[in-house]
A and B are shown apart, each in its own frame.
Chain A
């Protein structure tokens, strides 16, 4: 019989993981904002130039 191997996290590990997850989420959000805003700045008004 194959037993399911599950790791049960301690409270401390759960708290640490939540803290890391929030930081990664915020970091990625900042990265997205940085690239979006920088792209708009670099393109300037030309960002709306497109063939109709």
Chain B
């Protein structure tokens, strides 16, 4: 017998990774990250304090990496349920391209690196908020709420709502009413956005045993709740104008977008139970993405234009 036994390396107990850089990038959920980058950018640029452009880029990069890291931790923890849902079965961990341990280490290292970078190079308030966001998404939402309550995405939505507040804090070193309103817009937008998806993907969620609202409270109740949140979202979207933080230009855009949201939510509310194609739910889901993009773009444009005009008048 040899001193060292020969082991078969491909017996499942040990195997060399075949994960490419692209697989690791996929762990960062690039599509979610793009929304995070955009909303954080709006918070950072709309803040009334100018920040060195390079430091601004570093802040956005750190926020993006932090958000991506929480996505990687989510994919590590949720690999079992991702494997049984058609929408997520091809993700790197359930498909076997990335080992669970690799995803965990990747997520942890990037979490620490992004928070430390933001703290050292920008400021510690924004770093603390980023750390809270990662903890909220990976632990509070993914590990605790997602599998235990249909309110999962309502409370967990806070994680997605923090980025503009982090951007604002990166520029100003403080939290102000403006950034709280930007937080609230995303927070109230999240339930109708995800429940619209959950309506036409309820079988997927049901198979994975995730207690999404349509699976627990039924489709009729979900449709009512979507409508209720839309009624809340529309006026909150107009708050920056109501409080005088923006011009009427933003107010007009936010009002039109809010009416549109309520209209699409109404179509979902009156959708017959027999409708299995669920076009209104799909339309609301698509519109909700447009809503968030346009309302933040309008806020950004408004603050930049207002500032440019003010500096022009003063000079």
The answer to whether B310 has its CB under 8 Å from any CB of chain A is no
A38 contacts B16, C-beta separation under 8 Å:
no
The answer to whether A35 has its CB under 8 Å from any CB of chain B is yes
Report which of A15, A23, A31, A41 forms a contact with B55, defined as CB distance below 8 A. Answer: A41
The answer to whether B18 has its CB under 8 Å from any CB of chain A is yes
Residue ID in chain B nearest A5 by CB atoms: B4
A20 contacts B21, C-beta separation under 8 Å:
yes
The answer to whether A51 has its CB under 8 Å from any CB of chain B is no
Per-position binary interface string of chain A over residues 1-31, scored 1 when its CB falls under 8 Å from any chain B CB and 0 otherwise: 1110101011011011101101100000001
The answer to whether B315 has its CB under 8 Å from any CB of chain A is no
| Residue in A9, A10, A34 whose Cβ sees the most chain B Cβ within 10 Å | A34
The answer to whether A37 has its CB under 8 Å from any CB of chain B is yes
B16 contacts A22, C-beta separation under 8 Å:
no
B20 contacts A19, C-beta separation under 8 Å:
yes
Report which of A20, A34, A41 forms a contact with B19, defined as CB distance below 8 A. Answer: A20
B residues less than 8 Å from A1 (CB atoms) = 2-3
Count A-side interface residues using an 8 Å CB cutoff: 23
B residues less than 8 Å from A2 (CB atoms) = 2-4
Distance in angstroms from B20 CB to nearest chain A CB is: 4
Complex: A38 Cα to B55 Cα, angstroms: 7
Complex: A9 Cα to B22 Cα, angstroms: 20
Residue ID in chain B nearest A2 by CB atoms: B3
Complex: A22 Cα to B22 Cα, angstroms: 11
Residue ID in chain A nearest B20 by CB atoms: A19
Complex: A5 Cα to B262 Cα, angstroms: 66
A residues less than 8 Å from B9 (CB atoms) = 7
Complex: A40 Cα to B301 Cα, angstroms: 31
Report which of A3, A19, A20, A38 forms a contact with B4, defined as CB distance below 8 A. Answer: A3
B residues less than 8 Å from A35 (CB atoms) = 121
The answer to whether B231 has its CB under 8 Å from any CB of chain A is no
A residues less than 8 Å from B52 (CB atoms) = 41
Complex: A19 Cα to B194 Cα, angstroms: 35
Complex: A17 Cα to B24 Cα, angstroms: 12
B22 contacts A19, C-beta separation under 8 Å:
yes
A38 contacts B58, C-beta separation under 8 Å:
yes
Complex: A15 Cα to B17 Cα, angstroms: 11
**Contact A16 B19, CB 8 Å, known A3-B6, A41-B55:** yes
**Contact A12 B6, CB 8 Å, known A23-B24, A34-B117:** no
Distance in angstroms from B105 CB to nearest chain A CB is: 13
Distance in angstroms from A2 CB to nearest chain B CB is: 5
Contact sample, A vs B, 28 pairs, CB 8 Å cutoff: A1-B3, A2-B2, A3-B4, A3-B6, A7-B16, A9-B16, A10-B16, A12-B18, A13-B16, A13-B17, A13-B18, A15-B20, A16-B17, A16-B18, A16-B20, A17-B17, A20-B20, A20-B24, A22-B21, A31-B113, A31-B117, A34-B61, A35-B121, A37-B54, A38-B121, A41-B52, A41-B55, A42-B121
Q: Name A residues whose Cβ lies closer than 8 Å to a Cβ of B.
A: 1-3, 5, 7, 9-10, 12-13, 15-17, 19-20, 22-23, 31, 34-35, 37-38, 41-42
